[in-house]
Amino acid sequence: MAPGTVKTFSTLVFSLALATVSCNAERVSSSPSSLREQEVVRFRSAPGKAPVLFGQVQAVDDAGRYPMATSSVSVDGNVYYTNALGAYRVPVSVGKHQLVVEHTGVRSSRTSVKVEPGDSVQVNFYLRYAD
């Protein structure tokens, strides 16, 4: 894969994910993480939209990031799976949610996210290969 391809691919996935949240979504806050396991971006959706957790699961090594298809994304104990692009989308209720991401060959990751009324929260996971 060419060096610029991963960044372009990530930008495309982000754009597609944002479009699925709502065409009226507004970026409210983010906690970027070039070295952390997760990145959380909070969006304010159009009034009346149900809250959604969405994002992408990627494996990370020295050469770059790679989408992880069929990764399990557990939200409050309910298991969902990423698609071929490593993306997931889960409708949730308002409140605090526990996320656990697992895939064979990489270290698992967990985080908690608080969802406010009218929020849609993007949680991207960057998993390191297991030693």
Residue 70 has pLDDT above 90, yes or no: yes
Q: Specify the pLDDT at position 45.
A: 76
Whether 18 and 39 have beta carbons less than 8 Å apart is answered as no
CB 36 within 8 A of CB 124: no
- Residue whose C-alpha is closest to residue 28's, from 105, 118, 125: 118
Q: What is the mean pLDDT of residues 76-93?
A: 97
**3-class DSSP assignment, residue 16:** helix
**Residue the block writes with tokens 């969902």:** 80
Mean pLDDT is lowest, of 25-39, 46-60, 65-79, 108-122, for: 25-39
Task: Point out the least confidently predicted range of 41-45, 97-101, 104-108, 125-129.
Answer: 41-45
Residue 11 has pLDDT above 70, yes or no: no
Kind plus residue range of the DSSP H or E element containing 115:
strand 109-115
Contacts with 8 (C-beta within 8 Å, 6 or more apart), sequence order: none
Q: Domain segments of the chain: what residues?
A: 3-128
* CATH number given to 3-128: 2.60.40.1120
Report d(CA 5, CA 126) in Å as an integer: 17
Q: What's the pLDDT score for residue 96?
A: 97
Q: Band the pLDDT of 131: cuts 50, 70, 90.
A: confident
Q: Which pLDDT score, from 0 to 100, does residue 27 have?
A: 46
